């Protein structure tokens, strides 16, 4: 069975993405869960450089451009810090030797330990948006009780975190790629209704 080494230290990193204020003056911070990819570069690399498909690259661009922090959902590593250096591996969430129930538990535990500050140091209120840039293989994987990450995400995050599943409104990778590119190019989250 694959080794998972996610620790809270790697989960609490904070990137340099954008922050937006909504009409009420609240500070909106985005985060993302980005699914890994089968196509990989060879050798030891930081995780955000390991996966080489256009699809992964667009999800990474979304996360790096629009999010304060983000993680990679990996069948081997669970919740993976994008800066963690990893070696070659060939594991998919659908592989028979992957204990999906344990994988779901590991991801849930890691996410439940993430800190989601409600205010900035200067006292401004923060609301968080968590974008799940993942397909059904990862979002519908079930633990021993039949609970999937899609259902558990609201339970392991505070009330001031809104979970978004943008790919639910985008029929197919082509539409998802178009939406991701539009978000990256505009520097803001665009409506999914216009892309699928």
Q: Read off the pLDDT of residues 45-101 as tens digits, 9 standing for 90 and up.
A: 999 999 999 999 999 999 999 999 999 999 999 999 999 999 999 999 989 899 999
H or E segment and range at residue 58: helix 54-66
- Counting beta carbons within 10 angstroms of the beta carbon of residue 164, is it exposed (0 to 12), middle (13 to 18) or buried (19 or more)? middle
Average pLDDT along the chain, 196 residues, taken 10 residues at a time = 32 44 74 94 95 96 95 94 95 90 93 91 90 91 87 90 94 94 93 71
Q: What is the pLDDT of residue 196?
A: 59
């Amino acid at each position: 069975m694959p080794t998972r080494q996610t620790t809270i230290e790697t989960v609490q990193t904070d990137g340099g993405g954008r922050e937006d204020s909504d009409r009420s003056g609240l500070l909106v911070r985005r985060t993302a869960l980005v699914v890994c990819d089968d196509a990989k570069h060879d050798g030891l690399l930081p995780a955000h450089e390991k996966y080489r498909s256009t699809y992964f690259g667009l999800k990474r661009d979304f996360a790096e451009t629009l999010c304060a922090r983000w993680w990679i959902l990996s069948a081997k590593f669970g919740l993976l810090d994008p800066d963690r250096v990893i070696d070659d591996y060939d594991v998919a969430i659908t592989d028979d030797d992957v204990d999906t129930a344990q994988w779901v538990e590991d991801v849930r535990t890691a996410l439940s330990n993430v800190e989601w500050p409600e205010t900035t140091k200067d006292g401004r209120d923060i609301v968080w948006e968590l974008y799940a840039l993942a397909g059904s293989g990862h979002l519908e994987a079930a633990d021993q009780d039949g609970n999937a990450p899609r259902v558990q995400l609201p339970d392991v995050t505070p009330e001031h975190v809104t979970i978004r599943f943008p790919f639910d409104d985008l029929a197919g990778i082509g539409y998802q790629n178009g939406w991701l590119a539009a978000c990256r190019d505009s520097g803001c989250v665009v409506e999914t209704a216009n892309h699928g």
